[in-house]
Amino acid sequence: MQKNLSVNTLQALKDRQLVHKGSDSSSLERRVVSSGYSDFDQRLDGGWPAYGVVELSPENTGIGELRLLEPVLSNLAILRPLQAWVGVPACLMPSYLTSASRERGLIISPPDRKQTCWVVEQLLLSGCCSSVVCWMDELSPAQAKRLQVAAKESQTLLFLIRSSFSLSQSLPVSMRLQLETLDAGLKVSVIKRQNAWPLEPFALDLSKRWPQLFRREKSEVHAFCPDNVVAFPSVNHLRTKKS
């Protein structure tokens, strides 16, 4: 009882801004979390925002939007383990996730698309998820604002994956990206960033991390080499010469 009382009193003082916490000062700076892609981190001054709502508009489902998120999700899973996936359009295959995100991932399928917003807000308010990935097309600015406030308060990162036709609408979110495909990865256009200027579109090379999905040369389709087959030396030599 005594303890509850002290927590409540402290909270009341904090609400009136009479108590200054040492840890507050760090929140004045922009806090970021590494995306796992050095190129991306460099251009975005360190990576993804550490919390808030990030809106992703891939031009199509399945162009590599989850590949972009995979490293940051596994990074976040170390801090606060619980991660949630809301309204996944198909079955999420757990082998795609690293073991840290897989063990503590919750897949939530609200029966009704309208309820998605409620679920996401609950997830954010709870403060026990490190990140939430949500597929949601219809979102009003007021709803987005609610989610943004909830995400900031609980220091949770919410990735909203929306189809690209919703681009015309502007939402109060921390960051907004448009994704298009390129031969070796993704073209990332940063349309909006909080506390920073938007960026010119840039190419992000995903082929280093996922080489098998970007085998590009012409002869390649027939010349697929599994890891345990060593190429014949002369052929290898020829090929390097050609290129």
Partner 1 sequence: MRWLALHFPQLQLDGVYSTQAGTSDKSEGVDDNKVAPEPLKPISAMLVLDDKQCVCQLNDAADQAGVQYGMKLGTASALVDDLQLFNHSSEFEKQRLLEIAHACYQVSADIAVWNSKTLILDVAPMLKLYGSFECYVDALFEVEALDDVRMSAVIANTPLAAYLLSCTGDIDDPLVEQFSRQDVWLPILDRLNVDSVGIAREQSLQLKRLGLHYLGDVRELIEAEHSRKELGNRMGKKLLSHIAQLFGDEVLALTYFKPKDVFSHSVLLEYEVYRTTALLFPIKNILQVLQQYLQRRAKRIQTLSLYFQQRDGSVLSVNLASAEPERDSARWLNLVRLKLESMKLPAPVIGLRLEAIKLLEERVQSSDLFDLKPALSPGQLVARIQAKFGDESVKKMHLEADHRPEYSFRYESVSTQPEHTSRLNEELVSHDSTHVSDGECLKYSKRSQTLRPSLILSLPVPLQESVRFIHGPERIQSAWWTEAPVCRDYFVARNTAQQTLWVFRDQAQEWFVHGLFA
List interacting residues with partner 1 (CB under 8 A).
6-7, 10, 21, 23, 59-67, 70, 81-82, 88-97, 99-100, 102-111, 115, 118-119, 122-123, 125-129, 154-155, 181, 210-215, 220-221, 224
Residues with Cβ within 8 Å of 62's Cβ and at least 6 positions away in sequence, in order, are: none
Going by C-alpha positions, the residue among 177, 117, 178 that lies closest to residue 148 is: 117
Question: How many angstroms separate the Cα of 227 from the Cα of each of 95, 217, 218, 231?
Answer: 20, 18, 20, 10
Going by C-alpha positions, the residue among 214, 177, 232, 231 that lies closest to residue 199 is: 177
| Residue 183 vs 197, nearer CB to partner 1 | 183
| Residue 219 vs 234, nearer CB to partner 1 | 219
Q: How far is the CB of 197 from partner 1 (least distance, A)?
A: 28
Sign of CA dihedral 102, 106, 111, 117: negative
Going by C-alpha positions, the residue among 178, 176, 128, 120 that lies closest to residue 149 is: 120
Q: How far is the CB of 134 from partner 1 (least distance, A)?
A: 14
Q: How far is the CB of 205 from partner 1 (least distance, A)?
A: 15
- Cα–Cα distance for residue pair 138/102, rounded to 1 Å: 28
Q: How far is the CB of 18 from partner 1 (least distance, A)?
A: 16
| Residue 34 vs 74, nearer CB to partner 1 | 74
* Nearest-5° Cα angle at 159, 15 to 108: 95
| Residue 124 vs 193, nearer CB to partner 1 | 124
| Residue 44 vs 97, nearer CB to partner 1 | 97
Q: How far is the CB of 21 from partner 1 (least distance, A)?
A: 7
Q: How many CB atoms lie within 10 A of CB 201?
A: 16
